[in-house]
């Protein structure tokens, strides 16, 4: 017997759940936010070739709303069309913590953040978007809003090396100011939870437990959904990063992967520093 739970478990494990018609239905809403709410400025799209496969590596911003992600997607669809196969790796916990959001996301192109799904998408000549920093990145403190945070995760590099795919960084300024993260009290909240003082309101063991200023809570705690403030966002697609070695052996070489990781992190930081300057002029 097929159950709702088993259907949710299967979601995100197929490239066929992406629905261009559903994406088309969202475009007018994204357009309004793009033009009037966030007043998005975007550049660097000439770095995207007309055909994939590509691995786009982003810096996550703005809490769970992550408005730069949807605005980047809107720009992508406007430039390359809805039919061009494009997928985003999404943390697997979403399917248990927020199945409604997961159901909507898979129709836009979300797939499970697992190596086999990334490999399948790239072999299909599709473009894949990944945010390695995850929760630590999207909830990094306001004082670190202009710092690249990849959280030491290197799975995306092994994927790029194995599938011989160039990495194209995508960055933004402004999105991390749509809420103001004051700090992270995960360790303290975890201790209170162990003492039975603070029961988790979320059906996950989160990686961060932020305190932030923003809508609709005023002062929000924990990885709660938020309504982003109407801050101008500037997104940029950066030049591709090409490595000297590719293939399975390169992906298994720990020292080489570490060096590639530092190259990507430093290159993305350089581009972000420049974008901050450009956005202020």
- Determine which of 35-44, 86-95, 150-159 has the lowest per-residue pLDDT on average: 86-95
> DSSP labels for 104-122?
HHHHHTEEESSHHHHHHHH
Residue 46 covered by a domain: yes
What pLDDT does 1 receive?
A: 43
Residue 196 covered by a domain: no
What pLDDT does 37 receive?
A: 98
Number of domains in the chain: 1
Contacts of 48 by beta carbon, 8 Å cutoff, 6+ apart = 54, 79, 80, 168, 237
Contacts of 237 by beta carbon, 8 Å cutoff, 6+ apart = 42, 43, 44, 45, 47, 48, 56, 168, 169, 170
Residue 65 covered by a domain: yes
227-260 pLDDT, tens per residue?
A: 999 999 999 999 999 999 999 999 999 999 999 9
178-197 pLDDT, tens per residue?
A: 999 998 876 666 666 665 55
Residue 258 covered by a domain: yes
Residue 201 covered by a domain: no
Is residue 79 within 8 Å of residue 42, measured between CB atoms?
no
How far apart (Å, rounded) are the C-alpha atoms in residues 152 and 131?
12
> What is the domain-level CATH number for residue 169?
3.40.1130
What pLDDT does 6 receive?
A: 53
36-89 pLDDT, tens per residue?
A: 999 999 999 999 998 878 999 999 899 888 999 999 999 999 999 999 989 999
What does the angle CA 233 – CA 240 – CA 40 come to, to the nearest 5 degrees?
Answer: 15
Residue 86 covered by a domain: yes
- Determine which of 118-132, 147-161, 179-193 has the lowest per-residue pLDDT on average: 179-193
- Residue-averaged pLDDT of the chain: 89
Q: Is the pLDDT of residue 8 over 80?
A: no
pLDDT band at 204 (very low <50, low <70, confident <90, very high): very low
What pLDDT does 2 receive?
A: 47
Residue 93 covered by a domain: yes
> DSSP labels for 43-79?
E-GGGS-SS--EEEEE---SGGG-HHHHHHHHHHHHH
What pLDDT does 189 receive?
A: 66
What pLDDT does 167 receive?
A: 96
Domain of residue 41 covers: 4-179+231-280
Q: Is the pLDDT of residue 206 over 60?
A: no
Within a 13 Å sphere around the CA of 121, how many CA atoms are in the beta-carbon half?
A: 34
Q: Is the pLDDT of residue 214 over 50?
A: yes
Residue 185 covered by a domain: no
What pTM was estimated for this model as a whole?
0.89
Q: Is the pLDDT of residue 133 over 50?
A: yes
What pLDDT does 194 receive?
A: 61
What pLDDT does 186 receive?
A: 67
């Amino acid at each position: 017997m097929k159950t709702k739970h088993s259907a949710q478990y299967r979601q995100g494990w197929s490239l066929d759940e992406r629905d261009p018609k559903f994406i088309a239905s969202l475009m007018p809403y994204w357009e309004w936010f793009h033009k009037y709410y966030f007043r998005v400025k975007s550049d660097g799209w000439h770095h995207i070739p007309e055909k994939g496969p590509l691995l786009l590596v982003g810096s996550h911003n703005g809490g769970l709303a992550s408005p730069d992600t949807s605005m980047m997607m809107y720009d992508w669809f406007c430039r390359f069309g809805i039919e061009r196969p494009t997928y985003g790796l999404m943390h697997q916990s979403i399917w248990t913590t927020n199945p409604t959001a997961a159901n909507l996301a898979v129709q836009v192109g979300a797939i499970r953040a697992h190596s086999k799904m990334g490999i399948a998408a790239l072999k299909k000549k599709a473009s894949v978007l990944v945010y390695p920093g995850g929760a630590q990145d999207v909830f990094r403190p306001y004082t670190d809003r202009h710092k690249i945070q990849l959280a030491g995760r290197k799975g995306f590099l092994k994927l790029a090396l194995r599938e011989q795919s160039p990495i194209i960084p995508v960055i933004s300024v402004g999105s991390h100011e749509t809420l103001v993260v004051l700090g992270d009290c995960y360790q303290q909240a975890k201790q209170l939870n162990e003492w039975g003082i603070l029961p988790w309101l979320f059906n996950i063991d989160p990686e961060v437990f932020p305190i932030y200023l923003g809508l609709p809570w005023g002062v929000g705690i924990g990885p709660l959904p938020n309504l982003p403030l109407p801050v101008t966002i500037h997104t940029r697609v950066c030049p591709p990063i090409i490595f000297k070695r590719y293939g399975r052996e390169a992906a298994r070489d720990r020292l080489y992967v570490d060096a590639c990781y530092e190259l990507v992190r430093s290159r993305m930081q350089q581009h972000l520093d420049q974008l901050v300057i450009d956005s202020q002029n």
